[in-house]
Amino acid sequence: MSEPSTATPQRFRRVLLKVSGEVLMGDTPYGIDTNTVQSVAADIAEIVKSGIELCIVIGGGNIFRGMAGAAKGMERSSADYMGMLATVMNALAMQDALERIGVSTRVQSAIPMATVCEPYIRRRAQRHLEKGRVVIFAAGTGNPFFTTDTAAALRAAEMQCDALLKGTSVDGVYTADPKKDASAQRYDRLTYMDVLAKDLRVMDASAVALMRDSNIPIVVFSIKGRGNLLNVLRGEGTFTVVAQDAV
Identify the domain containing residue 66 by its residue range. 14-243
User: 107 and 138 in contact (C-beta within 8 Å)?
Assistant: yes
Coil, strand or helix: which one is 223? coil
DSSP state of 171: S
What CA–CA distance (Å, rounded) separates 52 from 130?
10
Give yes or no for residue 9 having a pLDDT over 50: no
What CA–CA distance (Å, rounded) separates 5 from 198?
21
Number of domains in the chain: 1
Does residue 209 lie within any of the structural domains?
yes
Alpha helices in the chain (DSSP H): 34-49, 66-71, 76-100, 122-130, 148-158, 192-197, 205-214, 228-233
CATH of the domain at 144: 3.40.1160.10
Phi, psi of 174 (to 5 degrees): -115, 165
What CA–CA distance (Å, rounded) separates 100 from 164?
26
Picking from 1-15, 23-37, 115-129, which range would have the lowest pLDDT averaged per residue? Answer: 1-15
Q: Which residues, including other chains, have CB under 8 Å from residue 96's CB and lie 6 or more apart?
A: none
Does residue 175 lie within any of the structural domains?
yes
Whole-model pTM: value is 0.90
What CA–CA distance (Å, rounded) separates 8 from 100?
32
Return the C-alpha torsion angle 44, 45, 51, 55, nearest 10: 40
Does residue 8 lie within any of the structural domains?
no
Most confident of 30-34, 46-50, 105-109, 236-240: 105-109
Residue 212 CA neighbour count, 13 Å, CB half = 17
User: 134 and 190 in contact (C-beta within 8 Å)?
Assistant: no
Q: Is 197 exposed, middle or buried (0-12, 13-18, 19+ CB in 10 A)?
A: exposed
Does residue 2 lie within any of the structural domains?
no
Q: Which residues, including other chains, have CB under 8 Å from residue 160's CB and lie 6 or more apart?
A: 14
Write the pLDDT tens digit of every residue in 32-79.
999 999 999 999 999 999 999 999 999 998 988 756 766 688 899 999
Residue 26 has a pLDDT of: 85
